[in-house]
């Protein structure tokens, strides 16, 4: 992230709401026309650690190719509640859609818990927000798409999710055909060879469910990586996910 902040044009800690963590770090290419694509990165950390401040590692190789990269901050647990996190990420997208009106489209990228939040963005009813972001693609990396199994693990100690909260915030249970505004959205579900069996199962089942619901989706099973370096290697220009 330090390398990104030193090497590219940045707008840091841009507020999209009034909350302390409702901020964006924006890494911009040298394109004064503002017609670049916008990659919105949502960090992982089991909804209870990490922040946007560690999320700039993917920016340099993408910005050098003319892509703007935005790292989204949101309230992590225990201060943050699952419903609120989902709403925050959705609001960050409306803010970006209003601020950057001439981009070549918004592309979501999330890792682990961030992939869950990105998937929840795809299920948004944008009529509630008064603006529909031009989401052209989503890269969901080693994500969680069904929260119910987490209720029975230590991960939920900080989240304090009830069954109802887990149900309404599970992308697998919020599936609907793509709205006209995202009809051309391409979804890539990526999973690591050395992810746990549960991460692999959820990625495979969610990609099948998306396709059955009418989405354009592909599954990318990346060899030789685990749950962490599958995303950390985005700092490398030659890495398959960076290239995609």
> Known catalytic residues?
112, 195, 227
Q: Look at residue 199 and give its three-state secondary structure.
A: helix
Q: Look at residue 237 and give its three-state secondary structure.
A: coil
Quote the tokens at residue 96: 């970006």
Q: Look at residue 97 and give its three-state secondary structure.
A: helix
Other C-beta atoms lying within 10 Å of the C-beta of residue 58: 27
Report how far apart, in Å, the C-alpha atoms of 173 and of each of 13, 39, 45, 49, 154 are: 33, 26, 22, 25, 23
Report how far apart, in Å, the C-alpha atoms of 175 and of each of 122, 145, 148, 209 are: 9, 11, 16, 8
> Kind and range of the H or E element at 137?
strand 135-141
């Amino acid at each position: 992230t330090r390398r990104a902040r030193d090497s590219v044009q940045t707008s840091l800690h841009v507020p999209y709401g009034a909350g302390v963590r409702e901020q964006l770090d924006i890494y911009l290419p040298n394109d004064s026309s503002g017609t670049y694509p916008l990659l919105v990165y949502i960090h992982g950390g089991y909804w209870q650690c990490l922040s946007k401040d560690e999320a700039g590692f993917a920016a340099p190789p993408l910005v050098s190719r003319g892509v703007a990269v935005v790292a989204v901050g949101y309230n992590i647990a225990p201060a943050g509640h699952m419903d609120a996190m989902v709403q925050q990420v959705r609001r960050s997208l409306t803010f970006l859609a209003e601020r950057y009106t001439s981009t070549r489209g918004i592309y979501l990228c999330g890792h682990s818990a961030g992939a869950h939040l990105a998937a929840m963005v795809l299920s948004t009813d944008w009529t509630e927000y008064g603006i529909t972001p031009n989401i052209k693609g989503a890269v969901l990396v080693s994500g969680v798409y069904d929260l119910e199994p987490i209720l029975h693990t230590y991960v939920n100690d900080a989240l304090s999710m009830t069954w109802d909260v887990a149900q309404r915030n599970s992308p697998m249970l919020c599936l609907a055909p793509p709205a006209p505004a995202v009809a051309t959205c391409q979804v890539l579900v990526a999973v690591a060879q050395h992810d746990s069996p549960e991460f692999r199962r959820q990625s495979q089942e969610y990609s099948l469910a998306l396709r059955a619901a009418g989405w354009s989706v592909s599954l990318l099973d990346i060899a030789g990586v685990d749950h962490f370096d599958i995303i950390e290697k985005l700092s490398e220009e030659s890495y398959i996910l960076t290239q995609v």
